[in-house]
Structure 1
Amino acid sequence: MSISAEDAARAALRQRQGPGARYDSPNAPAKELTWARRGTAYFARVLAQLPDSELDRPSLLPGWSRRHVIAHVGYNARALTRLLTWARTGVETPMYASPEQRAAEIESGATLPARALRSLFSHSEVHLNVAWRDLPDEAWDAQVRTAQGRLVPARETAWMRTREVWVHALDLDHGASTHDFPPDLLDELLADVLRMWQRRKETVDLTIAPEGRETVVLGDGGPTVSGTLPDVVRWLTGRGARRLTSSTGELPTIPRWF
């Protein structure tokens, strides 16, 4: 039986690290954890290239500076770590005490000195990664509750973090591009947008025609929007339209992703 390049690389790494190293449990969601870890490295690279003097500039998110985005990504790692504590111990540990507490935390974090803000991101992501690595096999299927109130298995935290780090790297507005995203991640992000719309029962009449991918028809079809998959995903996730064409000449208004 053939193995993937990633599986082969993982096996080689384990051999180099020796018997004393610790690894994700066999029941861990390997693909999503790989996306999350690669996305964390991508966000870190964009952040490292961002001078302290430019942290106060606006992000792509209305009302948020780049500082707010960095604080949010850092505190999100801590919140997901709390869910893993819930999964591991069985003691209910919510992501946030309340929406108001979450918002206040981000506002406070955005005022941190630049060095402390960068440390918040780096320290919290290490803590989250250790929590993933040490989560027992059975705990990955334990039910936890998201900030939106959905009950999900703890393995969902890997996908939740994947979205955060990759897409918020775009929000820093400092050179990140969906053209840097792994192709299979782009496919899943497109599917996630559609799942969100369906969950909220949004009425959407739209045909999505990404180059090289299957056309997606929503509702009555509506206008056809075409472009590369990275550009389509950027638009669908609310991060702006670039190099897209519409059969009606203008891009339609679409519902929000989150």
Structure 2
Amino acid sequence: MIDHAHDLDCVREATERLLTAVAELDNASLAEPSRLPGWTRGHVLAHLSRNADALVNVLEGRPMYASAAARDGDIEEGAARSLDVQLSDLRESAARFQELGAAPADWARTVELRNGVTDSAARVPFRRWAEVDLHHVDLGIGYELEDLPAEFTEREIDFLTQRFARHKDVPSTGLTSGSGRAWTTGGGAPGGPVEVEGTAPDLLGWLAGRRDGSRLTVRGGDLPQLPPL
């Protein structure tokens, strides 16, 4: 069972880690490339702020973004802002999300995200946690997949393997971590079963498109090419 209150606490902790790390940067470093193609660190930070507001929209029953073009425009417009403005926006948008999350609500209700995707309201805090912690890694400022909380890593692997389950482009695939945890995914494409083994951070990196999977051990075929998130 999803504990949204626990996840909200984890979002708060992840946000504080992010704010503390970003506060050590300077304006010049925000203009440098992030690990996401085509985005500077400033783009990543602007996205994180607008994502917090977008998830407030979701929880309040409004469209997540006015449009795809509006989403992209807001990120582009916010990318070049100075460090102090970025930090203020991150803090304030995060506070709005936390304030709404603390209010009484029907957390069992279904909400709509982008592109017609639906989910339970209770899972929204975990979705925000993923945004904050994975994009912290994407900044390329010393926070790596190995630094993620173990709980988050295993739960995000759970989430992503469910997302790719029965996907038409992914053959049946079994994953095993060094700790002995096992998952299955794919199954909608011919071939397999493919067995993939590695550390939990490396498995997450491959599933989330943050690593190429070269450090994974693969048996029964080639490492599947996963669709973009």
TM bucket, shorter chain = 0.7 to 0.9
Q: Work out which of the residue numbers 114, 120, 126 in structure 1 matches 2:89.
A: 120
Displacement after TM superposition at 1:103 (Å): 0.7
Q: Is the 8 A contact 1:71 1:109 kept in 2?
A: yes
Unmatched 5+ residue regions in structure 2? none
In structure 1, C-alpha distance between the alignment counterparts of 2:167 and 2:75, rounded to whole Å: 26
Unmatched 5+ residue regions in structure 1? 1-26, 87-92
**CA 1:256/1:40 → structure 2, altered by over 3 Å: closer, same or farther?**
farther
SS of the equivalent of 2:116 reads coil
* Larger Rg belongs to: 1
Per chain length, whose mean CA-contact separation is higher, i.e. which structure has more relative contact order (CA < 8 Å, sep 6+)? Answer: 1
Structure 1 range deviating more: 109-118 or 172-181:
109-118
- 1:52-67, aligned counterparts within 5 Å? 52-67=27-42
Q: Is the 8 A contact 1:72 1:106 kept in 2?
A: yes
Structure having the higher strand fraction is 2
1:150 equivalent to 2:117? Answer: yes
Aligned residues: 222
Q: Is the 8 A contact 2:42 2:79 kept in 1?
A: yes
In structure 2, C-alpha distance between the alignment counterparts of 1:171 and 1:251, rounded to whole Å: 27
In structure 2, C-alpha distance between the alignment counterparts of 1:145 and 1:199, rounded to whole Å: 22
Normalised to the residue count of structure 1, the TM-score between the two structures is 0.77
Letter in 2 for 1:37: R
Letter in 1 for 2:202: D
> How large is the RMSD of aligned CA atoms in angstroms?
2.4
Query: Which position in structure 1 is the counterpart of 2:223?
Result: 252
In structure 2, C-alpha distance between the alignment counterparts of 1:253 and 1:44, rounded to whole Å: 36
Query: Which position in structure 2 is the counterpart of 1:98?
Result: 67
Query: Which position in structure 1 is the counterpart of 2:140?
Result: 173
Displacement after TM superposition at 1:183 (Å): 1.6
SS of the equivalent of 2:6 reads helix
Normalised to the residue count of structure 2, the TM-score between the two structures is 0.86
In structure 2, C-alpha distance between the alignment counterparts of 1:145 and 1:71, rounded to whole Å: 22
1:180-217 deviations in whole A, cap 9, x for unaligned? 22222111111111122127544234332210123335
**CA 1:60/1:201 → structure 2, altered by over 3 Å: closer, same or farther?**
same
Identity %: 27
